[in-house]
Amino acid sequence: MSEAGYNYKIVRGFAFSALFWLVIGLVVGLWMAVEMFYPALNLAPWLSFGRLRVVHTNGLGLGFSLAAIFSTSYYILQRLNRVALPFPRLAQAHLYLFNTAIALAALSLFAGMNTTKEYAELEWPLDIGVVIMWVMFAINVFGTLIKRQEKQMYISLWYIIAMTVAIAILYIVNNLEIPVNLFKSYSIYAGANDANVEWWYGHNIVGFIFTVPILAMFYYFLPKATGLPIYSHRLSIVSFWALNFAYLWTGAHHLMLTPLPEWIQTVAMGFSIFLIAPSWGSVINGYYTLQGNWDQMRSNYLVKFFIAGITFYGLQTIQGPLQGLRTLNAFFHYTDWVVGHVHMGTMGWVTMVVAASFYYMIPHITNRELYSIKLANIQFWLTLFGQVIWTVAMWIAGIQQGAMWKATNPDGSLMYNFLDTVASLYPYYKLRFAAGLIFFIGILIFVWNLVMTVRKQPGTTEA
Amino acid sequence: MGITSKPVVFAVLSAAVILIGTTATVFIPLFMPSTQPGSAFIKPYTAVEQEGRDIYMREGCNNCHSQTVRPLRTEVLRYGEYSKPEEFAYDRPFLWGSRRTGPDLNRVGGKYPDSWHYTHLMSPQGMFEKSNMPPYAWLAKNKLDTGYSYKKTSVLGYGYSESDVEQQISQYKATVTDGAYPSKASRDKVTPPELRKELTEMDALIAYLQKLGRDVKQMEARK
Amino acid sequence: MTFSGLAYFLFTLLLAIVMGGITVYYYNPKRKEKVEEPKRRMLDDEQ
């Protein structure tokens, strides 16, 4: 318990859960990265690429990211509302249920219980567990908001509210399925409808896990870490509503040129382009906050993380809408370009902001100094280089394969068979693995730094 | 300052804002028959094909193989006629995929004989040295579990009776275990002796792959 | 102009007006102090 009776035990519990699932998810990712050029590593059914890929995406998307979100949300909610968690026991149960659910999710995916709907692969009993867990979280979210001691809600709280509401809707609608038995079910939607529901979900789950709550962290921890107020509160109001409104229309840009009705694709394309505006509202807000104080890039180690993070967010939110354009999509879709795009968001934006938030938050909740700022700086450069090499390698691989798929001989026949295009990518896959390894070493240093912060230096009597 | 000091109103408004785009682009199309039309030419999967489809899902084949040919010249050249909405009428869930680490499979049915698939699934690298596809030889060592086949087809609303399902299973078993089965040699090579008279998971997966894109050809021929 | 073209145009126009309205409301100089207040309040929550 802290000075104001805030519950930091739960914040810490989720933070270290996040770090645990981060390491697990990345180990799986590295294993798969090798399988891509060395298929002999598919040693057993549960280690085959098709099963590992979902363990990787769920382990990092649900395991790492959600835990980091819960951790920072419980912290931000108490601090901005100036009130302790109303239901600390419920939060503790939330932590246990979360880790149990993620562990069972990983085991079930290793075992091949996979509904195949991307980022919603869990079978129905686990879906119910996820929904219960979400309700437990939402009760504390609204509990603190209702009991708050502060009249107006600051930006981060809006984003936490939007996430809480949106994920509930997305998750339930997309996971409606009819069970055959405890381990198997079928989607209630068929064909093109199932595709449309799935990518409405798939796109927005990325939006409301990898964008909205990360923005909540960014808007809270950047001013806190620098002592500078955010540049414009009203700019963020307009951006917030525009983002929340427009995001939900854009899922079908994942289904360009498929049998989905063309008008849904076209509408998605239009809203995708519009989304650049509210996304860059946050980018501008981030950059201008540091106006006149850019010396903090040197003097304050955390600022680098935030600025690199928001820069990748800015690049991501331009690249994404452009990929959604029908003509560009025809070239880039189904290639590694998109894999590169996703990982710029997760390894660049999400990891950078979560790292900075944890570096700020963990010492604050434990009343200690960070174990080593030097190690944090080393981590910054390792994760930055690892990520940039990783994504650029995949962009080049994507352009190359896209071009090879389209290449024709003068007589109009195809120039390359499919296998030629795959074999041409192996150098990039090896480079990707090396880059992933650099990134992973950075993450291990990050985890080590935080573990040492909590373990060593017996500071105050805080527990 | 208005809604920023009213969390519950704020949450309700957020939900409403989120639901506008959702309703327009997802909920309304769900109730428009034109989104997912049917066709008399498109038949549901047999019980064995459905079991094969479930294995395809279990192994996450959709992570590397798409099932939608786009209406682009080089794509039609490579994979065959572009995908029509009708052919997905029985696909719960859809398996369109998002990344082509391997080729699209929407029109793979009938492209190769069963023997090709047995040999290829056993060892993709044995057939194509540079392939990065995982080997699936172990699928031939698993006897197909048909305990839920009827339940599955009835949940999916295929309209088969219990005896229909039994007949589909015994018929396909008879086909692949027959001495005159054209792909017998390849099947025997990958299937252990004790399972040669049974249906294996690989048999079902191949039955499913051979179904892909076949019914729609009759529909396209008619148009 | 086709019907669908007109529909797209009117819908876009409507959304632009709504967004313009929100922007004008929050960017009204009269409200500036109040709208911008939470960004300073959040900095002094250490007590």
Per-residue confidence in pLDDT tens, chain B, 223 aa: 588 899 999 999 999 999 999 999 999 999 999 999 999 999 999 999 999 999 999 999 999 999 999 999 999 999 999 999 999 999 999 999 999 999 999 999 999 999 999 999 999 999 999 999 999 999 999 999 999 999 999 999 999 999 999 999 999 999 999 999 999 999 999 999 999 999 999 999 999 999 999 999 999 888 6
C-beta atoms of A82 and C45 within 8 A = yes
Q: Which residues of B touch C38 (CB under 8 A)?
A: 4
A112: left (phi over 0), alpha (psi -120 to 50) or beta: left
Task: Reply yes or no on whether the pLDDT at A453 is more than 60.
Answer: yes
Confirm whether B211 is domain-assigned. Answer: yes
C12 vs A53: CA distance, rounded Å: 39
Inter-residue contact A293 to A228 (CB < 8 Å)? yes
Residues B31, B51, single domain; the answer is no
Mean residue pLDDT of chain C comes to: 89
Confirm whether B40 is domain-assigned. Answer: no
Confirm whether B120 is domain-assigned. Answer: yes
Longest Cα separation, chain A: 79
Q: Is residue A380 less than 8 Å (CB to CB) from chain C?
A: no
Domain containing residue B107? 47-222
Beta bridge partners of A184: A181
Q: Select the residue from A258, A333, A421 to test the B interface by mutation, using most B Cβ atoms within 10 A.
A: A258
Q: Which residues of A touch B57 (CB under 8 A)?
A: 114-116
For residue B119, the domain's CATH number is 1.10.760.10
pLDDT at A458 (0 to 100): 59
pLDDT classification of A3: cutoffs 50, 70, 90: low
Residues B119, B24, single domain; the answer is no
Inter-residue contact B37 to A90 (CB < 8 Å)? no
Q: Which residues of A touch C16 (CB under 8 A)?
A: none
Task: Reply yes or no on whether the pLDDT at A162 is more than 80.
Answer: yes
A426 vs A403: CA distance, rounded Å: 16
Q: Which residues of A touch B213 (CB under 8 A)?
A: none
Domains of chain A are 9-455 (1.20.210.10)
What DSSP line would sit under A19-82, residue for residue? HHHHHHHHHHHHHHHHHTT-GGG--SGGGSHHHHHHHHHHIIIIIIIHHHHHHHHHHHHHHHHT
Beta bridge partners of A185: A179
Mean pLDDT, rounded, for C12-38? 93
Residues B26, B122, single domain; the answer is no
To the nearest whole Å, the CA of A61 is away from the closest chain C CA by 29
Confirm whether B11 is domain-assigned. Answer: yes
Mean residue pLDDT of chain A comes to: 96
Q: Which residues of A touch B202 (CB under 8 A)?
A: none
CB pairs under 8 A between A and B: 248
Task: Reply yes or no on whether the pLDDT at A460 is more than 60.
Answer: no
B181: left (phi over 0), alpha (psi -120 to 50) or beta: beta
Task: Reply yes or no on whether the pLDDT at A415 is more than 90.
Answer: yes
Q: Is residue C38 less than 8 Å (CB to CB) from chain B?
A: yes
* All partners of chain B with 3 or more CB pairs under 8 angstroms: A, C
Residues B61, B119, single domain; the answer is yes
Peptide bond into A45 cis (omega under 30): no
Residues B143, B199, single domain; the answer is yes
Q: Select the residue from B54, B95, B96 to test the A interface by mutation, using most A Cβ atoms within 10 A.
A: B96
Q: Which residue of C has its CA nearest to B5?
A: C38
Residues B148, B108, single domain; the answer is yes
To the nearest whole Å, the CA of B27 is away from the closest chain C CA by 19
A339 vs A429: CA distance, rounded Å: 12
Q: Is residue A187 less than 8 Å (CB to CB) from chain B?
A: yes
Closest Cβ–Cβ partner in C23, C38, C41 for A238: C23
Residues 92-151 of chain A whose Cβ lies under 8 A from any Cβ of chain B: 112-118, 142, 145-146, 148, 151
C-beta atoms of A165 and B138 within 8 A = no
pLDDT classification of C44: cutoffs 50, 70, 90: confident
pLDDT at B222 (0 to 100): 82
A116: left (phi over 0), alpha (psi -120 to 50) or beta: left
C-beta atoms of A200 and B26 within 8 A = yes
Q: Which residue of C has its CA nearest to B3?
A: C35
Residues B128, B149, single domain; the answer is yes
Higher per-residue confidence, C24 vs A3 = C24
Q: Is residue C31 less than 8 Å (CB to CB) from chain B?
A: yes
What are the pLDDT digits (tens) for B113-171? 999 999 999 999 999 999 999 999 999 999 999 999 999 999 999 999 999 999 999 99
Q: Is residue B127 less than 8 Å (CB to CB) from chain A?
A: no
Confirm whether B42 is domain-assigned. Answer: no
To the nearest whole Å, the CA of C1 is away from the closest chain B CA by 23
Residues B26, B58, single domain; the answer is no
Q: Is residue A429 less than 8 Å (CB to CB) from chain C?
A: no
Query: Which of A188-192, B21-25, B118-122, C8-12 is predicted with the least confidence, judged by mean pLDDT?
Result: C8-12
Residues B1, B109, single domain; the answer is no
Q: Is residue C32 less than 8 Å (CB to CB) from chain A?
A: yes
Residues B31, B56, single domain; the answer is no
CA distances from A307 to A168, A218, A294, A382 (A): 31, 10, 10, 16
pLDDT at B87 (0 to 100): 96
Report the percent of chain A where pLDDT is more than 90.
Answer: 97
To the nearest whole Å, the CA of B33 is away from the closest chain C CA by 20
Mean pLDDT, rounded, for A268-286? 97
CA distances from A441 to A27, A383, C29 (A): 11, 8, 50
Q: Which residue of B has its CA nearest to A33?
A: B132
Q: Which residue of A has its CA nearest to B106?
A: A258
Q: Is residue A223 less than 8 Å (CB to CB) from chain C?
A: yes
pLDDT at A461 (0 to 100): 47
Whether the complex's predicted ipTM surpasses the cut of 0.90: yes
Residues B89, B126, single domain; the answer is yes
What are the pLDDT digits (tens) for A217-256? 999 999 999 999 999 999 999 999 999 999 999 999 999 9
A339 vs A425: CA distance, rounded Å: 13
Higher per-residue confidence, A189 vs A1 = A189
Q: Which residue of B has its CA nearest to C26?
A: B1
Mean pLDDT, rounded, for A98-117? 98
pLDDT classification of A462: cutoffs 50, 70, 90: very low
Residues B163, B217, single domain; the answer is yes
Domain count, chain B: 2
C-beta atoms of A154 and C39 within 8 A = yes
